Amino acid sequence: MKNNLFLNFIFSNYDLEFFFGCIVGHLVLKTSIKYNYIILLVGVLGFLSGWYLVLQGVLMRYHTQAMLVLGISCGLIVLSATFLDLKYKLRVPKLLLLIGDASYSIYLTHFYIFVFIFKILAKVNRLNPFGGFITVSISLIIAVILGVTFHLVIERLLLKYLNGKLFNNMNSKQDQNYRKAI
């Protein structure tokens, strides 16, 4: 399989993560789980153990074994957190909800924002003006702020426009209910 580009693409580590997300989504929609705290604990311990094994060199970062350990652990964390949220209706601050709503925009824009910031810092010969950790932290905060701004200014308006165009001709009761859910 090492030389087969198609199989490597189909069975890539990123597809494993996507597959875990699909399983979690299916379980959330179709089942109910009783032992959420135990599942959360197993997920957190698995995640911490996985990263410990990566840092110790037992597992290689970005290789299938590490992706399986970390992917399954993250899947368990998301699964249990989702069920706990559904069960207890957790109150989440509005800022965190906004960042959650903007997460895809942040994901799409963060790389370009980092490149832009570090090109500017490289031009002025100040790649680490505050030290590595603080520079990266400030860059991360800027990326989140600009990603949320992208979400508010472009993504929301685009979704509103596309939903209007897409659902303009729908008249059935089911279609109207679907429109309300969006």
Count of residues making up the chain: 182
Amino acid at residue number 102: A
- Give the per-residue pLDDT at 7: 74
Q: Cα–Cα distance between 165 and 182 in angstroms, integer?
A: 14
pLDDT in tens, 46-84: 999 998 998 888 988 777 788 888 889 999 999 999 898
Q: Cα–Cα distance between 45 and 42 in angstroms, integer?
A: 5
Where is the domain boundary, 63, 88, 113?
Answer: 88
For 135, the domain range is 94-181
Domain count, the chain: 2
What residue ranges in the chain does DSSP mark as E strands? none
- Give the per-residue pLDDT at 175: 54
- 36: tokens are 């959420």
* Same-domain pairing of 98 and 154: yes
39: how many CB neighbours lie within 10 A of its CB?
19
What integer is the mean pLDDT of 79-97?
Answer: 88
* Same-domain pairing of 122 and 65: no
What is the DSSP code (8-state) at residue 124? T
What integer is the mean pLDDT of 15-19?
Answer: 81
* Same-domain pairing of 156 and 133: yes
* Same-domain pairing of 144 and 122: yes
What integer is the mean pLDDT of 102-111?
Answer: 91
Q: Cα–Cα distance between 108 and 126 in angstroms, integer?
A: 26
Is the predicted pLDDT of residue 178 greater than 60, yes or no? no
* Same-domain pairing of 126 and 156: yes
Higher pLDDT, 128 or 120: 120
* Same-domain pairing of 80 and 106: no
The model's pTM is 0.60
Average the pLDDT over each of 7-21, 48-62, 102-116, 131-145 and give the range with the smallest value. Answer: 7-21
